[in-house]
Amino acid sequence: MGIFGQFQDEQHRARFAARARETAFGGIDRSMCGARTRGGTLCRAVPILEGKGRCLRHAGPHAARAYRERQRQQFLSGKISAEEWNRAEARRAANRLTLRWQKDPWLPGRTIDLGDAEDALRAMLRARGVNVDVLPPAVADWLRWRYRRTQIDRQSESAWLRVLNDQLPERVRRAGPRPASGAESQSETGLPLSRPARTWTPDAHGAETFSKRHNPDQPRAPKVRRGKGYLRPGRPRTQAASDDELDSLMALYREHRAIVAPMWKACRSEGDRLALLRALRDYLAAPDDPAYRDRWFAAAGRGMSA
Ligand SMILES: [Zn+2]
């Protein structure tokens, strides 16, 4: 054996490894997501197990739902902590809220808790005559994220001033005036929605949300079974026997035990045994009927050849 083990050269080994990785997951490369991003590059995130090898962000709603369900089972069976599960649920609820804010920036709720820094932010805004509590919730939330980005995570006074002087007034203008009271539960036509909008806040931990994801999964309809009684899909069916028929067939069996017993043993299922005895019964009742005769010979032939 050479320095490459059982491989001819390094290229051979790399080719083998790539093919092995593909076939291990049904032809799907699970080493990276590979979705095209807006920047024109390929997404390098780790794919989730669900779906066709994309990451959680790119896998689509069905795979994401399956991913959540697997996570829920992991939580219920103790494989992941309650804290981790709550964090994931909060992330999902925050994503939903952000999506809804695109349509209605006045929808109450928030996705970030600044903690102690909230007071500092409020003081800074008060000095400029801005009251966070009267801002559209979507804008206030965006403002808190910008504050964290430009004042806490890293210091960028110029970026923060741009936020206050240009971006904040623009966002408030685009959000439009606060709708009339109770408007959270009003649609654009002014008619009340059948379900009032419920929102997520860091305090409530997503207990009150508008998502159907919080409903338990519905059980699937049972699989349709083909065949009648014997669970042999796609084979000729044998009708189940009534008690009376069974009695008469067993009497027939005892009467012709010498011939039938070896064939009986060769039968692979209850259905085959029933078919064997029925064929014999019908043949004895009408030995000249070619259909009955053929059926009996076929059943007997199966028994003898096995
Ligand atoms: Zn991706």
Query: Residue 53 Cα, ligand 1 centroid: separation in angstroms?
Result: 9
Q: Is the pLDDT of residue 287 over 50?
A: yes
pLDDT in tens, 161-173: 999 999 999 999 9
What's the confidence (pLDDT) of residue 189? 46
The alpha helices in the chain, defined as continuous H runs, are: 10-24, 61-76, 82-101, 117-127, 137-147, 157-162, 168-175, 243-255, 257-266, 270-285, 290-305
Query: Residue 56 Cα, ligand 1 centroid: separation in angstroms?
Result: 7
* Residue 206 contacts residue 90 (beta carbons within 8 Å): yes
pLDDT average, residue stretch 89-114: 92
Give the dihedral of Cα atoms 43, 49, 52, 58; nearest 10 deg: -40
Question: Which residues are placed with Cβ below 5 angstroms of ligand 1, an ion?
Answer: 33, 35, 43, 45, 55, 58
* Residue 152 contacts residue 146 (beta carbons within 8 Å): no
Confidence of residue 187 (pLDDT cuts 50, 70, 90): very low
Q: Which three-class secondary structure state does DSSP give residue 121?
A: helix
Query: Residue 137 Cα, ligand 1 centroid: separation in angstroms?
Result: 30
What's the confidence (pLDDT) of residue 184? 47
Confidence of residue 227 (pLDDT cuts 50, 70, 90): low
Tokens representing residue 294 in the block: 């053929």
Confidence of residue 296 (pLDDT cuts 50, 70, 90): confident
Please choose, from the candidates 283, 108, 302, the residue with its C-alpha nearest in 3D space to the C-alpha of residue 209.
108
3-class SS string, 150-175: HHHHCCCHHHHHHHHHHHHHHHHHHH
Query: Residue 9 Cα, ligand 1 centroid: separation in angstroms?
Result: 33
Query: Residue 64 Cα, ligand 1 centroid: separation in angstroms?
Result: 12
Query: Residue 36 Cα, ligand 1 centroid: separation in angstroms?
Result: 8
Query: Residue 40 Cα, ligand 1 centroid: separation in angstroms?
Result: 13
pLDDT in tens, 138-148: 999 999 999 99
What's the confidence (pLDDT) of residue 88? 94
Query: Residue 3 Cα, ligand 1 centroid: separation in angstroms?
Result: 37
Query: Residue 112 Cα, ligand 1 centroid: separation in angstroms?
Result: 24
Query: Residue 34 Cα, ligand 1 centroid: separation in angstroms?
Result: 6
Confidence of residue 195 (pLDDT cuts 50, 70, 90): very low
